[in-house]
Amino acid sequence: MFSKEEAKKLRQDFWISFGKSFPRKWILYNTGIKDCSFKFHFDLKSAMISMDIESQDLEKRLGVWEKMISLRPILLEEYLPKALFEDTVILKNGKEISRVSVSLENVSIHNKNTWQETMVFLKENMAVFEDFFKEYEDIIRP
C-alpha cells in the first residue's frame, strides 16, 4: 500500500518516463471536434486509450457517435480489432459521455514491472487510433 504522496510520485514517474521513452506530439485534445478527445489512462488494474465524446448537448454527442458507429467495421477490421464501443459511460464526476476504447488488463501503475508493457500498449494503440482518426476525420466531423 502506498501513501497518497507515493502514489502521486509513481503516477508522475510513469508519465514522465512514457513521454521520454516515446516522445511524440499526440492529438489528444486537438481533434478539431469540440468536446471530442483522445485520452490515455493507467490505474491500479488496467491501462486504456480512448476517444471520448463528451458534449453535454446530447444531439451533438449522438451525431458524432453515430458517425463512429458507421465506421465501426473499418476500425475493428483494419485498425483496432479489440476496440470497445460504449454509447453511454458515466464518469466519476457524474458526466455522461460516449467512448471508443482499447484496454490492457492485469497491469498496475503501482507495479513498475508492468510499466514497459503498458507503455508499448499505450504508444502502439494510440498511434493506430490516431491513424484511423486522421484517415476518417472528415467523416467524423459534425
Q: What is the pLDDT of residue 125?
A: 98
> Average pLDDT of 54-81?
95
Q: What is the pLDDT of residue 74?
A: 98
User: What residues have CB less than 8 Å from 19, skipping those under 6 apart?
Assistant: none
Residues 125, 48: Cα–Cα separation, whole Å: 9
Position 98, amino acid: S
Crossing angle for the helix pair 115-140 and 58-70, to the nearest 10 degrees: 100
Residues 82, 102: Cα–Cα separation, whole Å: 6
> Average pLDDT of 96-104?
97
Q: Is 34 within 8 Å of 52 (Cβ atoms)?
A: no
Crossing angle for the helix pair 115-140 and 4-21, to the nearest 10 degrees: 70
Q: What is the pLDDT of residue 57?
A: 87
Residue 78 has pLDDT above 90, yes or no: yes
Q: What single DSSP character describes residue 112? A: G
Banded pLDDT at 90 (limits 50, 70, 90):
very high
Residue 52 has pLDDT above 90, yes or no: yes
Which one, of 120, 90, 91, 92, lies nearest residue 104 by Cα? Answer: 120
Residue 71 has pLDDT above 80, yes or no: yes
Cell triple for 93: 464526476
Q: What is the pLDDT of residue 62?
A: 92
Banded pLDDT at 1 (limits 50, 70, 90):
confident
pTM: 0.93
Q: What is the pLDDT of residue 42?
A: 97
